[in-house]
Structure 1
Amino acid sequence: MRQFIFAAAIAVLAAAPVRSASVITADRYLDVATGNYVEHPAIFVGDDGRITGIADARTVKWGSTVKHIDLSGETLVPGLIDMHVHLTSLAEIGGYRGLQYTDSFWTAIGVANAKKTLDAGFTTVRNVGSANFEDVALRQAIDGKWIEGPRIIAAAYAIGATGGHCDDNSLPPSLDRKQMSVVNGAEDARAKVRWLHKYGAKVIKICATGGVFSLGDSVGGQQLSLEEMKAIADEAHMLHLKVAAHAHGDEGIHDAILAGIDTIEHASLASDATIKLAVQHRTWFDMDIYNDDYILATGTANGTEQQSIDKEKMIGLKQRQTFQRAVRAGVPMLFGTDAGVYPHGQNARQFAKMVEWGMTPLQAIRAATSSAAEALAQTGDAGTIAVGRFGDMVAVKGDPLQDVRLLEHVDAVVKGGAQIERAAPSTAAIPAR
Structure 2
Amino acid sequence: MKRLLAAFAALCAFGPVVATPPPLAVVYVHAGHLIEPSTGQVLDDQLIRVTDGRVSAVEPWHTVPQGATVVDWSKQWVMPGLIDAHVHLADFLQTSNAAEPLLHSAEATAYLGARNARATLEAGFTTVHDVGSYRANGNIELRDAINRGDVVGPRINAVGGYITVPGGGGEVTGLPKGMVVPPEMRVGVARTPAEVTRKVNRLFALGADSIKLIATGAVLTEGTEPGVIELSGPMIAAAVKAAATHGSWVTSHAHGAAGIKLAILNGSRGIEHASLIDDEGIAMAKSHGTYLVMDVYNGDYIAEVGRRDGWSASILRKNDETTDLQRQGFTKAVRAGVKLVFGTDAGVFPHGTNALQFKYMVRYGMTPLQAIQAATSVAAEFLGWQDRVGSLTPGHWGDMIALDSNPLADVTALERVQHVMKGCALVR
What TM-score, normalized to structure 2? Answer: 0.90
- For 2:93 and 2:79, locate their aligned partners in 1 and report how far apart those are by CA, in whole Å: 28
Match of 1:21 in 2: 26
Task: Give the structure 2 partner of residue 165 of structure 1.
Answer: 169
Distance in 2, matches of 1:304 and 1:200, equals 34
- Percent identity between matched residues is 39
SS at structure 1 position matched to 2:283: helix
- 2: CA distance, partners of 1:267 / 1:92: 20
Tell me the amino acid that sits aligned with residue 21 of structure 1: V
What amino acid maps onto 1:155 in structure 2?
A: V
**Secondary structure at the counterpart of residue 167 of structure 2:** coil
Counterpart position of 2:204? 197
1:264 aligns with 2:271: yes
Question: In structure 1, which of residues 381, 402, 406 is the aligned counterpart of residue 409 of structure 2?
Answer: 402
| Aligned-residue offset at 1:374 | 0.7
Whichever residue aligns with residue 385 of structure 1, its letter is: L
Separation of aligned partners in 2, 1:348 and 1:91: 17
Q: What does residue range 20-419 of structure 1 map to in structure 2 within 5 Å?
A: 20-47=25-52, 49-57=53-61, 59-64=62-67, 66-91=68-93, 93-96=95-98, 98=100, 99-132=102-135, 133-171=137-175, 174-176=178-180, 179-302=186-309, 304-419=311-426
Distance 1:390 1:195, change over 3 A: same
Give the letter aligned to residue 43 of structure 2: V
Task: Report deviation, 1:418.
Answer: 1.8
Aligned-pair CA distance for 1:352: 0.5
RMSD value, Cα: 1.6
Deviations along 1:31-54, one digit per CA (max 9) or x if unpaired, are 11221211111111112x111112
CA–CA distance in 2 between the matches of 1:265 and 1:92?
A: 18
The secondary structure found in structure 2 opposite 1:41 is: strand
Q: What's the CA shift string for 1:332-371, capped at 9, x where partnerless?
A: 1000000011111000010100000000111100000000
Give the partner amino acid of 2:261: H
Q: Any conservation in 2 of the 1:80–1:368 contact (CA below 8 Å)?
A: yes
SS in 2 for 1:77: strand
The structure-2 alpha-carbon separation of the partners of 1:142 and 1:302, relative to structure 1 and needing over 3 Å to count, comes to farther
The answer to whether the 8 A contact 1:394-1:411 is kept is yes
Over 3 Å counting, the alpha-carbon distance change for 1:241 and 1:302 in structure 2 is: farther
The amino acid of 1:111's aligned partner reads A
1:118-138, Cα deviation, whole Å (9 max, x unpaired): 000000000000133111111
1: CA distance between counterparts of 2:351 and 2:301? 12
Give, in whole Å, the separation in 2 of the partners of 1:102 and 1:151: 25
Provide the rounded CA distance (Å) in 1 between the counterparts of 2:392 and 2:413.
19
Return the letter of the residue paired with 1:216: G
CA distance in 1, matches of 2:308, 2:108: 21
* Contact 1:96-1:303 within 8 A present in 2 as well: no
Deviation, 1:168, is 2.4
